Amino acid sequence: MVSTVDTAPHVVDPQNPGAVDEIVNLGEFWDVSVLSKHKEAIISVNERVGRHFATAYSSLLMAKMVREEEKSYRSEAFCCSRFNNLTGDLFRKVFGEKLMWGGGQPKDRHLFASAITPNGIVHHLTTVLDEVEFLYMVEGEPGSGKELIFTELAGYAYRSGLKVDVYHCAFDPAQVDLVVLPERRVAVINLFPELAFEPASLPNLKMCEKFDTNACLDAGKLNDYAEELAWAREIYDRCLDRALRHIKKAKQVHDEMERYYVEAMDFDGVEAKRREILARILAYAQ
């Protein structure tokens, strides 16, 4: 098994240097004398990039806080009996009428299928769900119970001895947005407004069904918080939009810095190093 990891801010320190882990230093292929001419400009650009990222992350934090407030209002209108009925129906369709327990050798993987990027919220669901034949889509407002469905579903599948691919939310990694059971070609996905996804794009899909957790909410109780809910949604949207704008600006400013490095790089040397590493990786597969 081989993996490659980027440098900051995606840092993973070597645990077993030399024996298992290795740092590839591309710095040996740049001309320091060329870069030193642009020292002040590079430092300035780096500071601007850092400022944009700091603003983006603080905006995401504010969005997270107001999202939790939004959920708290709906928690008062949540009906457990309706939720249990809906969840039971979904579980029977995913696992069968006779729910199993403890067979097979379980294995779970925790991944991301989407990300918050300079190009907005980007996903690779068409690739992730390429072999899925049965898709269950769960829609509903935050706090309507759908968050709980995915954690329970992933846990039950694992305890049942199945292989489970658990895809976490890019906005809130503690939350699960997608559960895939590869052996059964089944997936359950969280439908949220920012997700631009069309099930018809899946080549092997045979069946698709929706579950709406808003049915688990008491509309009468929600009316008491209509103004607060509308405010929370507006602030969340504004904070998320602000975060995306600053992530995009950070990328644009970072691109400015790359110009200084392009003229200082020995790309022939980089290419030779790439071929060397690729040959070593392929040798592991033999």
- 238 part of a folded domain: yes
8 in a structural domain: no
> What does the DSSP 8-state code read for residue 212?
E
Q: Could you read off the pLDDT of 216-255 as tens digits, one per residue?
A: 999 999 999 999 999 999 999 999 999 999 999 999 999 9
Instruction: Answer yes or no: are the C-beta atoms of 29 and 265 closer than 8 Å.
Output: yes
Final residue of a structural domain among 167, 197, 216: 216
The pLDDT value given to residue 11: 64
Residue 241 is assigned to a structural domain of this protein: yes
pLDDT digits (tens, 9 = 90+) for 187-218: 999 988 778 888 888 999 999 999 999 999 99
Query: What does pLDDT average to over the chain?
Result: 92
User: Which of 195, 216, 237 corresponds to the end of one domain?
Assistant: 216
Q: Residue 191 carries which side chain, given as an amino acid letter?
A: L
Asked whether residue 78 carries a pLDDT value surpassing 70, the answer given is yes
Beta partners for residue 179, in sequence order: 166, 188
pTM exceeds cut of 0.85:
yes
- What was the pLDDT predicted at 66? 98
Tell whether 16 is covered by a domain. no
Residue 78 is assigned to a structural domain of this protein: no
Q: What is the pLDDT of residues 103-159, one digit of tens each?
A: 678 899 999 999 999 999 999 899 999 999 999 999 999 999 999 999 999 999 999
Residues 254 and 279 in one domain: yes
Q: Cα-flanking dihedrals φ and ψ of residue 135, to 5°?
A: -120, 130
Task: Report residue 277 as tokens.
Answer: 């590493």
Instruction: Say whether both 148 and 269 belong to one domain.
Output: no
Whether 246 maps to a domain, the answer reads: yes
Q: Are 182 and 131 in contact (CB under 8 A)?
A: yes
pLDDT, residue 55, reads 98
Whether residue 271 sits in one domain with residue 180: no
Domain around 178: 87-216
**pLDDT interval class at 7 (50, 70, 90):** low
Same domain, 181 and 249: no
